[in-house]
Structure formats: C-alpha cells, structure tokens
Amino acid sequence: QYAVVHKQHTIYDMQGAALGVHVKHVADAQFQPIRARQHVAGSNNAVAKVFKVTDSKQEITLGDSIVPKPSLLDLSTVTLTVADSQQGYIVGGVSTRTRWSRGDVVVMDVGQQQTRPGMVFGIYAPDSTLTHLGKTYSQPQLKQGDLVVIATFATTSFGVIVNANSTIQRGAQLRAP
C-alpha cells in the first residue's frame, strides 16, 4: 500500500536549518505490475511501474510523490510518560500559522531518538529579556501549557496541545512539565 503526498511547506529549526518537509496525504495507491509487450523493440519482459489510485481525497497534481504508506499508531499500546531531560522547541505546525492553542497539532524539533508517542512536555514562553536604564533583566519562564507527542520522525515529532493558558508561538520551549 502506498500514499500519494503533496508538499505543503518546509519545516525549519530555530537557527533556520531545514528539518524536513510537511506533506499532505492526497490519495492511496497500489502497485500494479504489468508486463511489457513482447513486440516492443528492446523489450526484455521488464515490469513497468504502474500504480492504481484506490482512494483519492483531492486532485493529484504534477510534482506529487508516491511513498510507502506509514503504519498507523496503535493507541492501545501508548502510555503517557513525562519528559524529564528532553528539551526542544515548537518550530511549526501542520499549517503555516505561527500561533497555536489547545487542540492544535504542532511540530517539535525533537526526533525519535529523544521522544516517543505518549510523552508529555510542558510548553514555556520563549526567553525574553527586559532592558531598563542599561541593565538587562531576564523574565522568569512562564508555563503556557502542555502537549502530548503523537508521532515521531528522524528529526521532528508531532504533538497535540492538550492545555493552553495563552497563545503559543513558534520558539516556545519544551521541557519537563
């Protein structure tokens, strides 16, 4: 089973380096082996790569890609655990918005080596400083909410915001709740 995906946007870390590409699932496809015709010049009975679209959610356009369909997460095996030494940032979302709230799915710059589905992180406001009369003061970090990891990849993870006290922005820090 394969998925046809359409590139949505590139996800960048806090320093501007590309972490990956967010894609949208537009259709399902199955591989259909078809033998080449014998009378075609130079044919050696090779198998052509042909895919049959089995379910379409929107139009497939030039530039869309076919990738192996990922397996679904079995929620019965997921247990909630609290992040302890893991830290990271919210670097984006499943859309190009830069502000999120409760129920939104966000992208974290923490990969599958450091986290797993079910891990709970606290969300803290980005570092901010205040300068007054030449002196710089750093404000205490304010907890904005919590998120639960729902999917992990090599360099990023998806998390759903389950609690939010205020609007959460790109750059919010993730660490132990």
Question: Mind listing the pLDDT tens digit for each residue in 13-42?
Answer: 999 999 988 889 999 999 887 765 555 555
- pTM, two decimal places: 0.77
Distance CA 173, CA 127 (A): 8
Work out the average pLDDT over 146-165. 94
* Strands 81-82 and 119-124, bridge-based pairing: parallel
Cα 133 to Cα 130, 136, 137: the distances in Å are 10, 8, 11
**Cβ–Cβ contacts within 10 Å for residue 112, how many?**
15
Question: Mind listing the pLDDT tens digit for each residue in 65-109?
Answer: 999 887 777 777 888 899 999 999 999 988 888 899 999 999 999
